[in-house]
């Protein structure tokens, strides 16, 4: 049974990969948009920061779920 818990915790931590890829893509698109329209820098930066914060929150939730699986279900 502990093997299944380890697999479940590993799957829960995989949300960090998705968050990292998402933040990387969003940052590259924001830099591209700022290069095309430098006058829209403020709006683009605010939207980028909000999106990155939401993506990081998703990764943190996955990490917390993995910890809960490991600590509470063993």
Q: pLDDT digit string (tens) for 40-50? A: 999 999 999 99
Q: What's 74's DSSP letter?
A: -
CATH number for the domain harbouring residue 45: 1.20.20.10
Residue 34: domain span: 2-72
Report the candidate in 68, 70, 71, 66 with the shortest Cα–Cα distance to residue 17: 66
In angstroms, the CA 20 to CA 6 distance is 22
In angstroms, the CA 7 to CA 27 distance is 31
Give the pLDDT score at 48.
Answer: 93
Considering the entire predicted model, what is its pTM? 0.77
Task: List, for the chain, all residue ranges whose pLDDT scores fall below the cut of 50.
Answer: none
Arithmetic mean of pLDDT over the chain: 90
Q: What total of structural domains would you count in the chain?
A: 1
């Amino acid at each position: 049974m502990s093997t299944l818990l380890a697999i479940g915790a590993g799957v829960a931590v995989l949300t960090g990969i998705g968050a990292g890829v998402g933040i990387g893509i969003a940052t590259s698109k924001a830099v591209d948009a700022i290069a095309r329209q430098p006058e829209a820098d403020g709006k683009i930066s605010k939207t980028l920061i909000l999106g990155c914060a939401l993506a990081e929150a998703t990764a943190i939730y996955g990490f917390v779920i993995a910890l809960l699986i490991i600590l509470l279900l063993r």
